[in-house]
Amino acid sequence: MNMLDRIVKRLFKNNQHKEYQFRFNNNFLVEFIGPAGIGKTTLYNKVHAIANFLHHSNEVINNNVYSLNTPQHSLLLQNKLQFLFKTAYNTYTVAELINYFTSVILKDITLQFKPTQQGVILEEGICHNFSRELQELSINDLNKILHNRVLIYLRPTQPYTVVERIRKRQKQGGHTVSHHHGKTDDELLKITENAIVNYDSLIQLAKQFNLPTLIVNDNDNNAPLTIVQFLQDNLIVTQQ
């Protein structure tokens, strides 16, 4: 049992009737970003094991979004569709990806205009899924999209470790994204390297807008504790 697991176990033992709950006092959108297969879901779950953040995105419902006009989101989706149709993916995979990316856009619009002023923390969102397309926006449009974002970037120390994780998941029957199916190791490595370039550039853009950002290495066992401390230090939160 590593140090993190011991800390989490001790927290649960000492607080069986009290959760560590945090409420963002401003309308922040905290997003995890990083190459597909690196372990964002695992890290996200470990963070929630330490601190239960209130107001998850699944609780957000806003019937007024249907009348909204969000040209920045339209541009993102349009550019993503153009990219998908240029790829060598088969028709089924392209259709599956269109459905997924559309759902990400719909969720982001809802989060941008949700009725509550409380922020949310996302396992992944528009910054993770549209990292390339965001950088194609004008500065004005990008500012409108990014203005309330907080980015937590899980970055590989070695890109090939992501390929190894993807292969392990595939052998174990775990979840892998559709555009990884049928790819060789070299192709997966290229996808991962391109993703790292996009996320590195996006982080630099976010810093130019003075957005809170945190980069953690994929082999950092203390990453969940570092993330919780980062949120406490950089965001206005209320511990309950």
Q: CA-CA distance, 179 to 94, in Å (whole number)?
A: 9
Q: CA-CA distance, 225 to 50, in Å (whole number)?
A: 8
Beta-carbon contacts of 94 under 8 Å, excluding residues fewer than 6 positions away, are 84, 85, 87
213 with 199: CB under 8 angstroms? no
Q: CA-CA distance, 160 to 177, in Å (whole number)?
A: 17
Report the sign of the C-alpha dihedral through residues 86, 100, 195, 181, in that order: negative
36 with 4: CB under 8 angstroms? no
pTM equals: 0.83
Segment 165-175, tens digit of pLDDT: 889 888 888 77
The H-or-E segment that residue 155 falls in is strand 149-155
Segment 173-228, tens digit of pLDDT: 877 787 788 889 898 899 899 999 999 999 999 999 999 999 999 999 899 999 98
Q: Where are the domains of the chain?
A: 20-239
Fold of 20-239: Rossmann fold (3.40.50)
